[in-house]
């Protein structure tokens, strides 16, 4: 049972971050300190500097040799199953789309384990569950965040090439197919998918193009190689990989990180969560309403986040054979509120950030 002291510990972990969010909201809504360009710059800083250092700090301080294989397997199975279902939904239904697949996948598998999960579950189930939660966080940063970056980069590439590139088979590609032509395309926005719910997407993906457009050719292989190259160069990928490498080395041979490096990483790591919440507050303050996406999308996101995700996690955990505290931990962590890092990515790539700002 949770005591008042435990409840206070939960609020102690959560309130400072929401103070940062409300200050950011007021700085835009009331005080008008930041311009939209400055808000985008702050989010850019969080995405490219703060989060990579946060990922490195968390991963490098976690022992990769002490993992619960069943728990990790159940968590991985849940995410893969959800991804498979969403791919089928986006591919074979008239209201499905790639950008909504990314958003729903993000809502389904990225809970706020670090900020809310650990302070909440520690008094409920003790220290036994904390190691499991940390393993989930590490897996998110090492595996699933790079996968999200791949999906977002693929979406960005498709949007950029829409109206510019005609895809061909590799065998039909000539010399001129390797070169991108500089074509100026003027789009008139008309009910883009980011403005609609999935059920409204059937006739909302059209864009009016003014003027003639030349369609150079590009292969699907080149597209994926371009996306992979961008993800490999992303600072988040470096932070996760270097953190895992250092964790393997330090816990294998009991080597401590030099204090200068540790403190340098810690300073930027601490800013990660705070600045992410600050960026969220800036976005909310720049909207006409606090709930920018509307009631329908809020209901959809809540159903996906709190019901669908935890249900699939329960099924996978039981199928793997997880019982007791581990099963309860798995289900509850899957039903936690949305992680703030997902909003930072959505804002950076401009894919349904209004949905993830309220989830």
Count of structural domains, the chain? 1
The answer to whether position 127 is within a domain reads yes
- Checking if the pLDDT of 353 tops 70, the result is yes
Across all residues in the chain, what is the average pLDDT?
A: 84
Higher-confidence position of 208 and 64: 64
- Checking if the pLDDT of 212 tops 80, the result is no
> Within 10 Å of residue 3's Cβ, how many Cβ atoms?
9
Q: What does the pLDDT look like over 138-166, one tens digit per residue?
A: 999 999 999 999 999 999 988 887 755 44
Three-point CA angle 80, 86, 90, nearest 5°: 145
The answer to whether position 278 is within a domain reads yes
The answer to whether position 185 is within a domain reads no
The answer to whether position 190 is within a domain reads no
Q: Which residue range(s) make up the domain with 26?
A: 4-142+236-356
Q: Say if pTM beats, i.e. exceeds, 0.95.
A: no
The answer to whether position 206 is within a domain reads no
**Listed range (18-27, 52-61, 171-180) with the worst mean pLDDT:** 171-180
The answer to whether position 38 is within a domain reads yes
**Listed range (157-161, 187-191, 322-326) with the worst mean pLDDT:** 187-191
Q: What does the pLDDT look like over 21-57, one tens digit per residue?
A: 999 999 999 999 999 999 999 999 999 999 999 999 9
pLDDT of residue 217: 56
The answer to whether position 74 is within a domain reads yes
The answer to whether position 156 is within a domain reads no
CATH code of residue 342: 1.20.1530
pLDDT of residue 202: 43
């Amino acid at each position: 049972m949770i005591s008042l002291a435990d409840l206070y510990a939960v609020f102690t972990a959560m309130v400072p971050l929401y103070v940062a969010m409300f200050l950011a909201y007021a700085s835009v809504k009331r005080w008008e300190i930041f311009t939209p360009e400055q808000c985008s710059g702050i989010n850019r800083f969080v995405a490219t500097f703060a989060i990579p250092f946060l990922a490195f700090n968390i991963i490098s301080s976690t022992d990769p040799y002490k993992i619960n294989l069943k728990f990790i397997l159940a968590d991985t199975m849940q995410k893969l199953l959800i991804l498979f279902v969403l791919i089928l939904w986006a591919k074979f239904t008239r209201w499905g789309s790639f950008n909504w697949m990314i958003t729903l996948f993000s809502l389904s598998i990225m809970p706020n384990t670090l900020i809310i999960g650990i302070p909440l579950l520690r008094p409920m189930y003790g220290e036994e569950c904390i190691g499991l939660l940390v393993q989930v966080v590490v897996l998110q940063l090492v595996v699933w965040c790079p996968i999200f970056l791949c999906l977002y980069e693929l979406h960005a590439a498709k949007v950029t090439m829409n109206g510019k590139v005609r895809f061909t088979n590799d065998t039909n590609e000539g010399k001129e197919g390797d070169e991108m032509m500089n074509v100026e395309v003027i789009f008139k926005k008309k009910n883009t998918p980011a403005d609609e719910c999935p059920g409204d997407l059937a006739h909302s993906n059209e864009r009016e193009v003014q003027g003639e457009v030349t369609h150079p050719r590009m292969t699907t292989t080149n597209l994926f190689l371009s996306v992979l190259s961008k993800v490999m160069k992303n600072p988040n990928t470096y932070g996760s990989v270097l953190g895992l490498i250092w964790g393997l080395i330090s816990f294998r041979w009991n080597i401590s990180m030099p204090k200068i490096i540790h403190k340098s990483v810690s300073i930027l790591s601490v800013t990660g969560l705070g600045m992410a919440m600050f960026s969220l507050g800036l976005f909310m303050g720049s909207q006409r309403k606090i709930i920018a996406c509307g009631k329908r999308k809020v209901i959809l996101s809540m159903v996906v986040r709190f019901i669908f995700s935890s249900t699939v996690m329960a099924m996978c955990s039981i199928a793997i054979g997880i019982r007791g505290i581990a099963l309860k931990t798995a289900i509850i962590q899957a039903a936690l509120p949305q992680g703030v890092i997902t909003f930072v990515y959505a804002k950076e790539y401009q894919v349904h950030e209004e949905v993830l700002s309220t989830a």
